[in-house]
Chain A
Amino acid sequence: MLFGGDEHFQEVKIEFPFGLPGFEVFTHFKISALHDYEPFCVLQSEEEPAISMLIIEVKFLAIQDKIVIPDKELRKVNIHDEKDALVFLILKVNHKSHELTANTRAPLVINLETKKGFQAILEDATLPLEYSLAKGLN
């Protein structure tokens, strides 16, 4: 179930005040649920629709327990309890294995109340940039 249990979620607009690494000038995005392919979602720039990425909430992946967002990172978007944070990972296609992989080192951290987010870059260098989804979802 997506977004804190909102079954009817279709789309939410999120501001990333610093953009995303590689796309720093774009700050206004929307996250859309792919209902035919739940729990996958799409993050898309409202300013440049070609900037569009597949994302998934971290809770659907077995590696979720290893992805710890430090309090000082959460406070960047005024989150004081990690339960209030919505955490997504950006996915890409590995063209050799034809599998999806998730960037676990750089999660998107979103305060759903203020609709503001940022892409954290975690200090834990053991977190894979290409975590395979081949083992399936939670």
Chain B
Amino acid sequence: MLVLTRKSGESIRIGNNIIITVLESPSGQTKIGVKAPLDIPIHREEVYNRIQQENKSALLVHDEMSNMLAKYVRGKS
């Protein structure tokens, strides 16, 4: 079983459309066990959100790429 540490109000997203949220825990921190098939992605919600942001900010703007890439390719040789 995968074991993650979470606080009250924090969530875990499972795949594209499942989120488990810890609603209440006396000490402010609760451990949640998750059992799922190996191929189901399980992430801390805020980390997943950050990677979503990173991916969106990585979308290519083609007119700036050629100059940018030439710099690295030249730098290598």
Q: Is the CB of A20 within 8 A of B55?
A: yes
In the complex, A51→B53 CA distance in Å? 14
How far apart sit A106 and B58, CA to CA, in the bound complex (Å)? 13
| Other-chain residue from A20, A37, A54, A105 in contact with B60 (beta carbon distance below 8 A) | A54
Given contacts A72-B38, A75-B38, A137-B72, contact A93 B64 (CB under 8 A): yes
The answer to whether B51 touches A106 (Cβ under 8 A) is yes
- For A21, A90, A93, which residue has the most chain B Cβ atoms within 10 angstroms? A21
What's the tally of chain A residues with a CB closer than 8 Å to chain B? 39
B76 shortest CB reach to chain A, Å: 5
The interface on chain B, measured as residues whose beta carbon lies within 8 A of the other chain's beta carbons, has a size of 30
Measured in the bound complex, the distance between the Cα atoms of B55 and A106 in whole Å is 9
A78–chain B nearest beta-carbon distance, Å: 9
Cross-chain contact B55 with A53 (CB below 8 angstroms)? yes
Residue of B nearest to A25 (CB): B16
Q: Which residues of B contact A (CB under 8 A)?
A: 15-16, 38-39, 41, 43, 47-48, 50-61, 64-66, 68-70, 72-73, 75-76
Contact residues of A with B, CB < 8 Å? 17-25, 34, 36-38, 40, 42, 50-54, 72, 75-76, 90-93, 98, 100, 103, 105-106, 118-119, 121, 129, 133, 136-137
Given contacts A38-B73, A76-B38, A121-B48, 14 further A-B contacts (CB under 8 A): A19-B16, A21-B52, A22-B55, A40-B73, A53-B55, A93-B61, A100-B68, A103-B55, A105-B51, A118-B41, A121-B41, A121-B43, A133-B72, A137-B72
